[in-house]
């Protein structure tokens, strides 16, 4: 069995970059491929190494965009992508963990990313129709074949992480983690710490809410936040107390709310890597600077004492 490589050997860096919003989920009118390419290239200059995408983002276009942006810089970065979620003809999402599908999906991702190996290949969702051991075994074969360096899982339960880990080592686990979405601190984070597994934290800024820059308003129908119960008008109004708490800490530290939110995520463990997403250069530079912000025990206690957000739910 080939030993998977990740934290020590691939050097994920302190803060990564989530690329989804460049092509998927958030308001289409704000997308600009050329600016997104500049964001990726500037991220490399700032020392960011981990770039996270998925074949479902677009679908497919986000991987192609990242492949273009990394032309000539491949050896300087860690590419993480995902498989196992499929957009059906009617636009609905389904899960596919069948070995033959995963093999084809990997080959397609390699082509779009313009690379001969994926550093971290993640199962986006567990397919309940296929035994996890069969799915994970097929992914492990991709490591043996040299197409993938390490495996990760997104949104799996601890029981599913255990089952996969027994077949082939899980190198990373990816979940939402932020001041207003901290449910993984109960189970997944301790499991990752115990097993020396890296934890990739997406949406560390609360899908933009914790910056304090989002107005209480309805989102475009194409914006995934329009379907998030935390972003209803009532919820955003009630949750303002959380934003105010983050702002208070930020003002004391001469930092921005986004930087405090990212620093809070970094404080959750040595193997936690926040991957804030952005398609704007100014937010990229602000987010990257959070790597140098250290929160005191008092700061963390103050943030941990903030109330549970209205509309909070564990994402599956």
In a domain, 302, yes or no: no
Instruction: Please state the length of the chain.
Output: 316
pLDDT digits (tens, 9 = 90+) for 224-267: 787 888 888 899 999 999 999 999 999 999 999 999 999 999 99
In a domain, 233, yes or no: no
Identify the band that residue 312 occupies on the pLDDT scale cut at 50, 70 and 90: confident
| Number of structural domains the chain divides into | 1
Q: Specify the CATH number for the domain of residue 20.
A: 3.20.20.100
In a domain, 16, yes or no: yes
Domain that holds residue 158: 7-209+257-294
Task: Let me know the angle formed at the C-alpha of 154 by 151 and 156, rounded to the nearest 5 degrees.
Answer: 105
Q: Give per-residue burial for 27-39: e unless 16+ CB within 10 Å, then b.
A: eeeebeeeebbbb
Specify the pLDDT at position 89. 87
> Which run of H or of E encompasses 266?
helix 257-266
Distance CA(194)–CA(188), nearest Å, equals 10
Alpha-carbon separation of residue 14 from 20, 191, 270 (angstroms)? 19, 20, 10
In a domain, 241, yes or no: no
- The catalytic site residues sit at 57
Query: Does residue 10 carry a pLDDT above 70?
Result: no
DSSP state of 277: B
DSSP letters spanning 129-168: TS-HHHHHHHHHHHHHTTSEEEEEEES--HHHHHHHHHHS
pLDDT digits (tens, 9 = 90+) for 282-302: 999 999 999 999 999 999 999
Identify the band that residue 12 occupies on the pLDDT scale cut at 50, 70 and 90: confident
Per-residue pLDDT, averaged over 124-130, amounts to: 98
Distance CA(71)–CA(115), nearest Å, equals 9
Contacts of 179 (CB under 8 A, 6+ apart): 206, 210, 242, 246, 261, 264, 303, 306
The residues pairing with 273 across neighbouring beta strands, listed in sequence order, are 200
In a domain, 230, yes or no: no
Return phi, psi of residue 17, to 5°. -130, 120
In a domain, 1, yes or no: no
In a domain, 84, yes or no: yes
């Amino acid at each position: 069995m080939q030993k998977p490589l990740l934290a020590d050997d691939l050097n994920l860096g302190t803060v990564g970059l989530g690329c989804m919003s460049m092509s998927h989920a958030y308001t289409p009118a704000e997308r600009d491929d050329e600016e997104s390419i500049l964001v990726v290239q500037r991220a490399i200059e700032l020392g960011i190494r981990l770039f996270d995408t998925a074949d479902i983002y677009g679908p497919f276009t986000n991987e192609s965009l990242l492949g273009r942006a990394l032309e000539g810089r491949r050896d300087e970065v860690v590419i993480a992508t995902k498989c196992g979620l499929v957009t059906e003809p009617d636009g609905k999402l389904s899960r596919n963990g069948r070995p033959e599908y995963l093999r084809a999906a990997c080959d397609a991702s390699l082509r779009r990313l313009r690379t001969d190996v994926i550093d971290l290949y993640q199962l986006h969702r567990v397919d309940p129709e296929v035994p996890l051991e069969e799915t994970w075994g097929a992914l492990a074969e991709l490591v043996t074949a040299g197409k993938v360096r390490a495996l990760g899982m997104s949104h799996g339960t601890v029981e599913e992480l255990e089952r996969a880990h027994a077949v082939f080592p899980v190198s990373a686990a990816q979940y939402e983690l932020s001041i207003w979405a901290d449910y993984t601190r109960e189970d997944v984070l301790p499991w990752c710490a115990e097993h020396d597994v890296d934890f990739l934290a997406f949406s560390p800024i609360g899908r933009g809410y914790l910056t304090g820059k989002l107005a209480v308003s309805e989102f475009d129908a194409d914006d995934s936040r329009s379907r998030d119960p935390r972003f209803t008008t009532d919820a955003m109004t009630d949750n303002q107390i959380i934003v105010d708490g983050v702002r208070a800490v930020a003002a004391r530290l001469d930092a921005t709310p986004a930087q405090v939110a990212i620093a809070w995520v970094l404080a959750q463990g040595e193997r936690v890597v926040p991957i804030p997403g952005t398609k704007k250069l100014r937010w990229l530079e602000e987010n990257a600077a959070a790597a140098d912000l250290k929160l005191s025990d008092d700061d963390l206690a103050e943030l941990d004492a903030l109330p549970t957000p209205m509309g909070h739910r564990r994402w599956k």
